[in-house]
Structure 1
Amino acid sequence: MTAAHLAGRAPLRVAAAQVTAVPGDLAGNARTAVRSIAEAAARGVHLVVFPELSLCGYDVGLLRDDIARCAVEAGGDPLDVVAEACRTHRVVAVVGGCRRRADGWAIGALVVGADGRPAAAYDKRHLDRDERELFVPGRADCLVEVRGWRLGLGVCYDASFPEHARALAVAGADAYLCPSAFTTGDSDHRRGVYFPARALENNCYVLFANFAGAHGGWQFAGRSAVYAPDGRVLADAGTGPGLAVADLDDAVLRRHRDALRMLTDRAAPAPPPAAVPVPAG
């Protein structure tokens, strides 16, 4: 543990920003983010997380036709617009967009510091079927530190793989931040299972940010939320635009990790078992 962890940390107020998006309207979506950042700051928030591809919208058809239109890069609009809001309001933001890499395009989660400077970027590691036609997977995990709190990044489908959040928790993450794009129906059912489970099994906070409304042929489920380290919901944004705001509290985290010891009690990996034949009638 670091000295900050041993001494105890001030609570970190976080928000999951549940926004509507217009596909391809990066300037308009950036203005939406600015309004959310201002609202979050007025509520004392230190860190706000936006949905997957929040700056360009999650529209597979648009991405397939003109992915370059959805590029988000440091030093250019719309990221500069978000950066100025972060600087003005002294808030850290995690926004989503398409990142150009040497080997192709990636679904990026970009972290902008309260000083308005790009601080880190994470590329989604697990891609679903449609995404694999357009994007390349990220190769590395990402852990950032904000006010002494260590925060691991995932994006949407990453949360379907328990080992992703677990690796970040083992590396010291106090919270798992997951910008997402979950829709109504079966996707919403999975959303309701994944995120409390990731919190409980890793004894960490989870921050899930989703879209509200419809775009790109999808009806999004909303339900952006912050989960406690025992899987209980601390804040829920419902189904319309808004913020889910909660405090990450060191005393609460310590209490849950003292009671729920899955991280410390986990067994060492075992070799793959051979199947044992069992007589059957």
Structure 2
Amino acid sequence: MSSRSKTAFRAALVQMRAGRSVERNVADAVSLINEAADRGADYVQTPECTTLMELDQARLMAETKPEDGNVALAAFIDAARKRKIWLHIGSMAVKVGERRLANRTYVIAPDGAIAARYDKIHMFDVDLGGGESYSESVNYQAGPSAIIAELPWGRLGLTICYDLRFPALHRALAKAGAKFITAPAAFTRTTGEAHWHTLLKARAIETGAYILAADQGGRHENGRETFGHSLIISPWGEVLAEAGVDPEVVVADIDGAYVDQVRRKLPSLTHDRDFDVVVANSKAPSLVHGS
């Protein structure tokens, strides 16, 4: 690990184009993780679906293993330990029942210990038109809790892909002390072209936090097409690093002290007010309540 200040570190995002072979995907990921470490990264993040991009349900179930004895997870633990980095596996499918999976993040410490697990809360059940639809909840069970990992430089709030569209989650993480919020993703090309940059910048600005978002990119073996453009965004909404579409590593230097500066300037996290939503000209106020 590098000798930076107590609040500063170098973050790296690993952009991938995962296929249908877990073994090959793990090998590709570890190669890129090593490249990130060679470039001085203290923290390395991979995208959602690091170990497998699979649309066929039978094959997905057959290729996905429980956490205990998971060969892919063991390889990532070994990589973190060997390179003495904080390794954040953006997500991998993990079997949690006979026919149920979790879309799970792992934050692995430099000593190989699993510092945090997070199961994706919001399921990607959408119909984008043109024959492109996804039903994540058919195979995956939603996580019950928001999770924060304690890093040496500050708290890291964990989210995955579709969670990006739920600002209340990000605000809750920030109010719980997260200075860095993650968004590892396998964002579709269709939604990425329209919304990726806008949503990530909005979440950074709203929370006054760094946003770290490693994405899948390009046309995958299973026919799915993802957007790429992995991004690191500052608490002020500035793009600090951006990938293209192909697999690569991007890095940026991060300083948690800058989060404190931004939040002092714009302390919106302390300005919440309770309110009711009233429909004008209605006989009775709505029961919707906000904060």
1:87 aligns with 2:87: no
Select which of 257, 263, 277 maps to 2:281: 277
Select which of 235, 240, 258 maps to 1:252: 258
Select which of 226, 229, 251 maps to 1:223: 229
Select which of 27, 31, 36 maps to 2:32: 36
Alignment of 1:1-281 (within 5 A): 9-23=6-20, 25-57=21-53, 59-61=54-56, 63-71=57-65, 73-95=67-89, 96-101=91-96, 104-129=100-125, 130-215=135-220, 216-264=222-270, 266-270=271-275, 272-277=276-281
Percent of aligned positions that are identical: 32
User: Runs ≥4 in structure 1, deviation > 6 angstroms?
Assistant: none
Over the aligned positions, Cα root-mean-square deviation in angstroms equals 1.8
Q: What's the CA shift for 1:64?
A: 4.9
Q: What's the CA shift for 1:212?
A: 2.1
Q: Say if 1:18 and 1:241, in contact at 8 Å, map to a contact too.
A: yes
- Normalised to the residue count of structure 2, the TM-score between the two structures is 0.86
SS at match of 1:189: helix
Spell out, residue by residue over 1:186-206, the C-alpha distance to the aligned partner (whole angstroms, 9 max, x if none): 333211211110000000000
Q: 1:94 to 1:250 in 2, by over 3 A?
A: closer
Unaligned 5+ segments in structure 2 are 126-134, 283-291
Query: Which stretch has the larger CA shift, 175-184 or 67-76?
Result: 67-76
SS at match of 1:53: coil
Query: Which stretch has the larger CA shift, 169-178 or 179-188?
Result: 179-188
Q: Say if 2:7 and 2:257, in contact at 8 Å, map to a contact too.
A: no
Q: 1:273 to 1:247 in 2, by over 3 A?
A: same
SS at match of 2:260: helix
* Whole-angstrom CA distance in 2 between matches of 1:155 and 1:64: 24
Q: Say if 1:223 and 1:238, in contact at 8 Å, map to a contact too.
A: yes
* Whole-angstrom CA distance in 2 between matches of 1:181 and 1:242: 15
Spell out, residue by residue over 1:123-167, the C-alpha distance to the aligned partner (whole angstroms, 9 max, x if none): 000002210111110001110011131001000000100001111
Unaligned 5+ segments in structure 1 are 1-7
- Normalised to the residue count of structure 1, the TM-score between the two structures is 0.89
Q: What's the CA shift for 1:230?
A: 1.1
Matched pairs, number:
266
Q: Say if 2:14 and 2:250, in contact at 8 Å, map to a contact too.
A: yes
Corresponding letter in the other structure for 2:223: G
Q: Say if 2:179 and 2:256, in contact at 8 Å, map to a contact too.
A: no
